[in-house]
Amino acid sequence: MDYTSNLQKLRNSLAELGGNAIVVAINNSFGNFDDEVSNLTQISGFSGSNGRAVVTAHEAVLCVDGRYVNQANKQVDTSIWEVCIYPSVTTTTLLSRMIKKDQTLAVGPFSITHSSYLSILKLSKEIGFNVKVLDEASSTKLFGIPTPSNTKLFLMNEADVGESHGDRIDRIRNAIDNGEAVLLTEKPVTGWCTGMRLQKVTSDKSVLPACAVYIAHTGKPIVFCDLELKEASDDFSYVPLSSFKDVMSTMDKVTVNCNFATIPVYFPWTLQSLGFQVQQSKVDVGQFESIKNQVEISNLRTAAELTSIAFIKALAYVETCPRTTEVGVIEVFETALRKNEAFMDMSFNAISSFGENTSIVHYNPKTLGSIDIDRDGLFLFDAGAHFTSATTDMTRVIYRGNSLTREMVDIYTTVLKSVIMLSSARFPDKTKAACLDSIARFLVWRKGFDYNFGTGHGVGSFGNVHEHPSISQGSNERITNDMVFTVEPGIYKLDFGVRLENMLRTVASPTYPGYIEFETLNFIPFCKKLIDAKRLDSGEREWLNSYHALIYKKFSCAFADDPATLSWLKENTKEI
């Protein structure tokens, strides 16, 4: 693909529309389309899952978070593109530099959130530039017509999710004030309350459709989506997304609660044009979604164990085979998963990285070029699976061979101690997620490092692999009983990276009323070669040895007919 040519076409089309600058996000659409190259990739070559650019006639600046800095610098033409790191550089920071008084900034209706739009509006008043929200025809002129997906939708079985979707919708309805409504667009919460799932998993392994759910205090909820639903639901009306403006124009003009941080600007912008009042949502649907019922917890526990078995198989393969490739390891992992009837697909594009590639946080060998694994080196594997009623995500780093360095051991041990510290934590009920993030970062900070991503995220019941709660530095979400989320601290250098990830469930402390503790759901050995046992205190050593003993007890029988994997498992679960 000729990215430079595409960038120039964008500039030419933008000038024809009367724009001087444009904000380009990963996707400039909210519909459900066949797998395609994102808008940002079309003009830059950057293929990460998160990023935003500002383009003018003479400048092109790509802003990515810390996970994607190395990848962005490798993928884009840095003689054309300037790469910046978010949040050190924000969209408004770039606009302050790149757009002048009386000029016009174009934004796609689905390319930025409402909170970003409000920040841009505030800046526009300070500088004196105009903001133009593009209509569908203008967006099409800039980026072409995407191909609609022919994937249909189905509804999750109540037996798989533990409660009816009508009951979940009622919980949301009961949380809003009389005379108000809520509009949901975030995939984890729309999937949670409607039960809608894609029949065909997308290229980025999503099983949740893009849709908007309108729930008023009275009347049947309305789901706006442009895919065919296999069966009608008694819990909501189902209409095309393209009819959003027409349908809402007939509704009572109430105050609508929206999550400004996640909702595309199109929806509040359209509602306000129709006479609705829009306010930052008082309803925390993410909290509803993040607390799992006992059916969901049982399903997640089973799924985590099935994924662990496949993980052990893949890691043992890396260490024992003479030669393989980064993609080859993914194939071994997926083949092991397919032995389970409940397996649907990978839950995201697996990160299978060897050697220096481990330094790229979201490395994808299928897009960046798979390399051979035929020598000594670090191997990082971050993968998960969609099962019929649960989703998983976990990460391990191992060392193939014996030429490891003292620095590798030191960094790996620090990250391991961070995992154990948080996994062993006890904290008051409803503690903010940001506090847990700090616990995981504490030992990493002491070594003079940090990681440019959150410590963890919720995982769903055959849903989005990244759900509520967010365990990150800025998260105010409250952590309570029966949540399931990952803990994944890491340290990344220019030549290698280490990240370790477990799935944890929160449980009420049996001995300290009002406190929360953790249950670890996945069972994969940590790499003994990379652990400096002298740095583990007695509590850490006890935690690790107990964890490894449980792994061997659980899974040794699963590899009775696979002596190579069984031998690897036995060696890596020995007491330290």
- Are 458 and 429 found together in one domain? yes
Tell me the residue length of the chain.
Answer: 576
- The answer to whether position 148 is within a domain reads no
- The answer to whether position 106 is within a domain reads yes
pLDDT of residue 334: 98
- The answer to whether position 576 is within a domain reads no
Residues 6+ apart with CB under 8 A from 574: 528, 548
- Are 546 and 460 found together in one domain? yes
- The answer to whether position 574 is within a domain reads no
Taking Cα atoms as reference points, which of 452, 510, 419, 439 lies closest to residue 479? Answer: 439
Cis link prior to 146 (omega < 30° from 0)?
A: no
- Are 348 and 412 found together in one domain? yes
Per-residue pLDDT of the chain (576 residues; tens, 9 = 90+): 899 999 999 999 999 999 999 999 887 678 888 776 788 999 999 988 889 999 999 999 999 988 888 889 989 999 999 999 988 899 999 999 999 999 999 999 998 999 999 999 999 999 999 999 998 788 888 888 788 888 999 999 888 899 999 999 999 999 999 999 999 999 999 999 999 999 999 888 999 999 999 999 989 999 999 999 988 899 999 999 999 999 999 999 999 999 999 999 999 999 999 999 999 999 999 999 999 999 999 999 999 999 999 999 999 999 999 999 999 999 999 999 999 999 999 999 999 999 999 999 989 999 888 999 999 999 999 999 999 999 999 999 999 999 999 999 999 999 999 999 999 999 999 999 999 999 999 999 999 999 989 999 999 888 889 999 999 999 999 999 999 999 999 999 999 999 999 999 999 999 999 999 999 999 999 999 999 999 999 999 999 999 999 999 999 999 999 999 999 999 999 999
- The answer to whether position 125 is within a domain reads yes
Which of 261, 289, 317 is where one domain is finished? Answer: 289
Distance from C-alpha of 493 to C-alpha of 138, rounded to nearest angstrom: 43
pLDDT of residue 70: 84
- CATH number of the domain that 56 lies in? 3.40.350.10
pLDDT in tens, 463-517: 889 999 999 999 999 999 999 999 999 999 999 999 999 999 999 999 999 999 9
Residues 6+ apart with CB under 8 A from 70: 359, 360, 361, 494
pLDDT of residue 69: 87
- CATH number of the domain that 434 lies in? 3.90.230.10
User: Which residues are paired to 506 by β-bridges?
Assistant: 518
- The answer to whether position 93 is within a domain reads yes
- The answer to whether position 575 is within a domain reads no
pLDDT of residue 138: 87
- The answer to whether position 213 is within a domain reads yes
Distance from C-alpha of 18 to C-alpha of 564, rounded to nearest angstrom: 65
Count Cβ neighbours within 10 Å for each residue of 552-563 and write b for 16 or more, e otherwise.
beebeebbeeee
Domain assignment of residue 250, given as a range: 153-289
- Are 296 and 256 found together in one domain? no
Taking Cα atoms as reference points, which of 382, 442, 438, 443 lies closest to residue 412? Answer: 443
Q: Which two tokens stand for residue 78?
A: 């840095």
pLDDT in tens, 243-302: 999 999 999 999 999 999 999 999 999 999 999 999 999 999 999 999 999 999 999 999
- Are 199 and 87 found together in one domain? no
- Are 442 and 563 found together in one domain? yes
- Are 258 and 302 found together in one domain? no
Cis link prior to 87 (omega < 30° from 0)?
A: yes
pLDDT of residue 28: 63
Which of 101, 119, 143 is where one domain is finished? Answer: 143
Number of domains the chain is built from: 3
- Are 325 and 384 found together in one domain? yes
pLDDT of residue 345: 96
- Are 280 and 321 found together in one domain? no
pTM of the model: 0.93
Which of 289, 316, 340 is where one domain is finished? Answer: 289
- Are 170 and 250 found together in one domain? yes
Q: Residue 298 CB: number of other CB atoms within 10 A?
A: 14
CA dist 194 → 48, 110, 225, 457, 469 (Å):
29, 22, 12, 21, 19
- Are 488 and 352 found together in one domain? yes
- Are 304 and 414 found together in one domain? yes
